A and B are shown apart, each in its own frame.
Chain A
Amino acid sequence: MPSHDVLVIGAGLAGQRAALAAAEEGVSVGIISKVHPVRSHSNAAQGGINAALNPGDSWESHAFDTIKGSDYLGDQDAVEIMTREAPEEILHLEHLGVTFHRNEEGKLGTRAFGGASAARTYYVADITGQAIMHVLYEQLMKYSEQIARYEEWFCSSLAIDENGECCGVVTRNVADGSMELFQAKSVILCTGGNGQVWQPTTNALICTGDGIAMAYRVGAKLMDMEMIQYHPTTLAGKGFLITEGARGEGAHLLNAKGERFMEKYAPNKMELASRDVVSRAEQTEINEGRGFPDGTVALDITVVPKKRVHEALREIVLVGRDFAGVDITREPIHIKPGNHYTMGGVKTDVDGRTDIPGLYSAGETACVSVHGGNRLGANSLLDTLIFGKRSGRDAAARAKRTDYAHVSKKVLEDEEQMVADLMSREKGSGRRISEIKRELGQTMDGKVAVFRDEAGIQEALEIVKRLKEEAKSAYIDDHGSVFNQDLIAAIELGYMLDNAECTCVAALERKESRGAQYRTDYPERNDEEWLKHIDLERTDDGPEISYSEVTITQWEPQERTY
């Protein structure tokens, strides 16, 4: 049985950072990823990473912007930690070799971003996530003796010992189909978000909420699952992302009449208000007939000097050209709000610890919570790195003071049985996996999106429950061992349905409007009743609801305007 003191599941930024931090503590580390690490979705973070590093800026200012952005649902102790540790992390990345943009003096330069009161976003053109992730992967290659990489291994279940502590994971080598039980003293879930539950989404096909569902299934609490971010600038249909950096560089949002409509919604910050605010503004324009016939508004980047576009927004020049047939340097591009980010997730403390001893989580999978009801642009990379690092360190410390627990083979046998069951279903015995996935995505995008109401969410929940039943008889075509992507898609569908059910239940429960949760039937924020987190725990009858307090240190909730 392969054993590692610390086992990291997922190799995006959070996972790679966690693995490196754990290895620095001198423990043995394994990192498992269902795709090659550099294919991870952290790649897609274009705009940058926030830190109050400039003289004149302060972590308090960064923290306040984050908390205001979260619509006061973020836990302020966690936000303080993240914003205080941010500058050191940026410098650490720079020292490792990230090619951050420089100002004329050759020092780190910044750009403006949404919801921020200072230009504190550090960046590499508009490939910031990719540039950082590839540099971390360089470090993984460098420290290959301390960190074993399991590239293209898919995890299907966590192993829990008789004391209720996490002691390993069942995983399948995608290349040959062999299944293994890995033993560990600490397991860190860094599998990203669940964007694929919605269609369309900016998220990659791999973002199927694996870690969230795996933790939920073994009894870990989930938190803030109703908080799903819709990004203001995505391409209609395909859902491709146009970075907020475009607006950071000065691009305008226009309705079909050519009006800069953000004047009405956020007269001070205009296009750089929080994402929930901008997305609602756009959706209102579209719903009230001031959008284009294709259900979009326009993002006008032609106001940004061309030289600057080539230097700083290179990637979206290509996205516009290759995926929309638009030269963004010459004409506005049509965009709309689209599913983008999971603010909620596995409930953790500031060291990544979940309710289950030995089980950690970081990055988009986790909910610490630093993002609360709405994440600020360029805070996600920061979240992955700070809490990835902290989880890695704490997981290593735990590993040093504990021994390997006895791992029962039963969990492996159960998973082998699950796979055998899936393989044995007759072709045509039920629906195709892809059909169920499509219906799920369209349902969620239609009913649990920018604007929500009780009837819609309830309807979505019913559909999700039906789809869960249908998934039990859905069949796959591929019965082989080598790269059986069909089988993996079937398991992922199960993960997505659990995620969807939790989001519906939490969205139904929160009877107010806060951050990304906008209930047309409860349009006001209601601090008296709802300044609290919604926690969910699995039971055989579905998620059970409980509440936890929001930690407030020094910023009392105020009215939120931009």
Chain B
Amino acid sequence: MAEYTIKVRRFQPESGEGPYWEEFNVDLDPSLSVLDGLLQAKDRDDGSLAVRCSCRAAICGSCGMKINGQSGLGCKTQIGEAQELADKQASAAGTGSDGNSIVIEPMGNMPVIKDLITDMESTHWTKIRRVTPWLLPHGEAPEREYVVEPESMIDITQSMACIQCGACVSSCLSMEADPDFIGPAALAKAYRFVGDPRDAETSERLHDLAEDPHGIYDCTHCFSCIDACPKGVAPMDQIMRLRRKAGEEGIEDPNAGHAHEVAFVKVIEKKGLLDEALLVQESYAPGIKGKLKPSKRGLTETIKSLPTILRPLRKRKVKLRQAIPGLHHGLPKDSMNDVKSIYTHAEEHNEEFNLYIKGEEGELIDENVEKGIERSTDPDTAEAK
């Protein structure tokens, strides 16, 4: 047992007052959850403290909230860990190193109804319905099951693992800037259909999601949703998969993201260092063909990028050599061998990252354990072996 102070951002809609903070003292085992702490406060002190919850085990998705500013599930965050984080944050801010309150707020990017309860219908669910969230197969269903690649089912099971808790939506920086952004949860849901070989409207779905100005290209790649997701769905990865599939479908990326990625890989492979001038050229007019017969878009984008090159030149932050494509120096030859080996490794391990296949980072399957070779738990002797 330990004592904690939880500081809850409250809002009682019928009081006529605005939101306010209230602290509750709770005492429970550090391994219990922030939700357990809230429920204790509710049971003992104030039954009007409102929080949605049901399963207590991170499967129903009810208790999305912000804990010390981070979006997640109340039931999945241990109160002891939340305390450590609160202390760490306070210590970094220079406001004392222990005994700080654990700060609990309703999720972001959604209207608050009461205390920690947000209006998910008007934001989250409306966006989910936006992506036509049901399977659209063509023709009659087969007599038995659809026969599909086993991996394809495992692949979309990562998206199916989504419990619609809204933590990713709460943390989404793009949605903060553009409330109309379809958003991480709905786009992850969309991938569940785009990646499903039984769905017959893949192309229509991709065009729909790509051509919507608030669609897949509205994501700024900030990783917040991946951090927030309590189920390892990695919504941003699903958005990137959608973009890749859109690229394969011949859909033009308004951000030139895919072309940029390809150019980046190519430039580094060639030089080991980033030749930014070359990067621009390769992104919009790749290869000899691109230079001889640049597309209209390639030309306009290159011209548009000129001021970005000229400004640092004028201020002498960049030397002329660096501003002309191809003149930037590369790495020495022996270092280039190291770069080469990275590329070779990446090629040999060219697999999609998926929880259901490989586990999370840091718990990748240990081949020795797999083979039954004993593993010493003592780090000293382990190294000797």
B137 CB → nearest A CB, Å: 7
Q: Is B318 positioned at the interface, with any CB of A under 8 Å from its CB?
A: no
Give the contacts of A93-130 with B (CB-CB under 8 A). Answer: 94-97, 99-109, 124-125, 127, 130
A178 CB → nearest B CB, Å: 13
- Is A95's CB under 8 angstroms from B57's CB? no
Give the contacts of A424-438 with B (CB-CB under 8 A). Answer: 432-435
The contact of B154 among A240, A241, A311, A433, by CB within 8 Å, is A311
The contact of A205 among B54, B61, B163, by CB within 8 Å, is B54
- Is A240's CB under 8 angstroms from B369's CB? no
B contacts with A: majority SS? loop
- Is A131's CB under 8 angstroms from B157's CB? yes
The contact of B14 among A106, A151, A482, by CB within 8 Å, is A482
In the complex, the chain B residue whose C-beta lies closest to that of A104 is B150
- Is A96's CB under 8 angstroms from B135's CB? yes
**Residue numbers in A under 8 Å from B331 (CB-CB):** none
The contact of A39 among B62, B141, B156, B369, by CB within 8 Å, is B62
Alpha-carbon gap, A489 to B58, bound state (A): 21
Given the known interface contacts A44-B59, A139-B134, A205-B53, the answer about A310 and B164 at a Cβ–Cβ threshold of 8 Å is no
CB-based A-B contact count at 8 angstroms: 188
A9 CB → nearest B CB, Å: 17
**Residue numbers in A under 8 Å from B48 (CB-CB):** 477-478, 480, 484, 486
Q: Is A420 positioned at the interface, with any CB of B under 8 Å from its CB?
A: no
Q: Is A41 positioned at the interface, with any CB of B under 8 Å from its CB?
A: yes
Alpha-carbon gap, A40 to B163, bound state (A): 11
- Is B357's CB under 8 angstroms from A95's CB? no
**Residue numbers in B under 8 Å from A41 (CB-CB):** 54-55, 60
- Is A480's CB under 8 angstroms from B14's CB? yes
Give the contacts of B1-54 with A (CB-CB under 8 A). Answer: 12-14, 31, 42-44, 46-48, 50-54
Question: Which of A100, A317, A478, A486 has its CB near the most chain B CB atoms (within 10 A)?
Answer: A478
**Residue numbers in A under 8 Å from B137 (CB-CB):** 95
In the complex, the chain B residue whose C-beta lies closest to that of A206 is B54
- Is B365's CB under 8 angstroms from A310's CB? yes
Give the contacts of B146-170 with A (CB-CB under 8 A). Answer: 146-150, 153-154, 156-157, 160-164
Given the known interface contacts A97-B135, A206-B54, A480-B14, the answer about A489 and B356 at a Cβ–Cβ threshold of 8 Å is no
Q: Is B114 positioned at the interface, with any CB of A under 8 Å from its CB?
A: yes
**Residue numbers in B under 8 Å from A319 (CB-CB):** 57-58
- Is A94's CB under 8 angstroms from B46's CB? no
Given the known interface contacts A44-B55, A322-B58, A323-B57, the answer about A477 and B154 at a Cβ–Cβ threshold of 8 Å is no
How many of chain B's residues touch chain A, expressed as a range? 35 or more
Q: Is A318 positioned at the interface, with any CB of B under 8 Å from its CB?
A: yes
B286 CB → nearest A CB, Å: 37
**Residue numbers in B under 8 Å from A151 (CB-CB):** 121
**Residue numbers in A under 8 Å from B192 (CB-CB):** 99
The contact of B54 among A35, A101, A142, A318, by CB within 8 Å, is A35
Q: Is A551 positioned at the interface, with any CB of B under 8 Å from its CB?
A: no
- Is A481's CB under 8 angstroms from B153's CB? no
The contact of A486 among B14, B47, B133, by CB within 8 Å, is B47
Using an 8 Å CB-CB cutoff, how does the interface string of B108-137 with A read, 1 for contact, 0 for none? 000001100100110000001100011101
Give the contacts of B247-288 with A (CB-CB under 8 A). Answer: none
**Residue numbers in B under 8 Å from A433 (CB-CB):** 47
Q: Is B144 positioned at the interface, with any CB of A under 8 Å from its CB?
A: yes
Q: Is A455 positioned at the interface, with any CB of B under 8 Å from its CB?
A: no
Alpha-carbon gap, A377 to B185, bound state (A): 32
- Is A94's CB under 8 angstroms from B146's CB? yes
Given the known interface contacts A97-B196, A311-B154, the answer about A91 and B12 at a Cβ–Cβ threshold of 8 Å is no
In the complex, the chain B residue whose C-beta lies closest to that of A200 is B56
Alpha-carbon gap, A350 to B374, bound state (A): 54
- Is A305's CB under 8 angstroms from B355's CB? no
Q: Is B198 positioned at the interface, with any CB of A under 8 Å from its CB?
A: yes
Q: Is B334 positioned at the interface, with any CB of A under 8 Å from its CB?
A: no
Question: Which of A106, A131, A240, A477 has its CB near the most chain B CB atoms (within 10 A)?
Answer: A106
- Is B146's CB under 8 angstroms from A95's CB? yes
Alpha-carbon gap, A95 to B200, bound state (A): 13
- Is A306's CB under 8 angstroms from B153's CB? no
- Is A127's CB under 8 angstroms from B161's CB? yes
User: Given A310-B358, A432-B47, A480-B12, list of 15 further CB < 8 A pairs?
Assistant: A44-B57, A96-B135, A97-B196, A97-B198, A100-B153, A104-B150, A109-B150, A125-B356, A138-B133, A238-B57, A306-B365, A314-B161, A322-B58, A482-B14, A489-B47
* A to B CB contacts below 8 Å, 15 in the list: A38-B164, A43-B59, A44-B60, A97-B134, A99-B192, A101-B150, A141-B128, A241-B57, A306-B359, A315-B59, A318-B58, A477-B48, A481-B14, A483-B113, A486-B48
Closest 6 CB pairs of A and B: A97-B135, A477-B47, A434-B43, A478-B48, A486-B47, A102-B150
Which A residues contact B (CB, under 8 angstroms)?
35-36, 38-41, 43-44, 91, 94-97, 99-109, 124-125, 127, 130-131, 134-135, 138-139, 141-142, 151, 175, 204-206, 238, 240-241, 305-307, 310-311, 314-315, 317-319, 322-323, 325, 327, 329-330, 432-435, 476-478, 480-486, 489
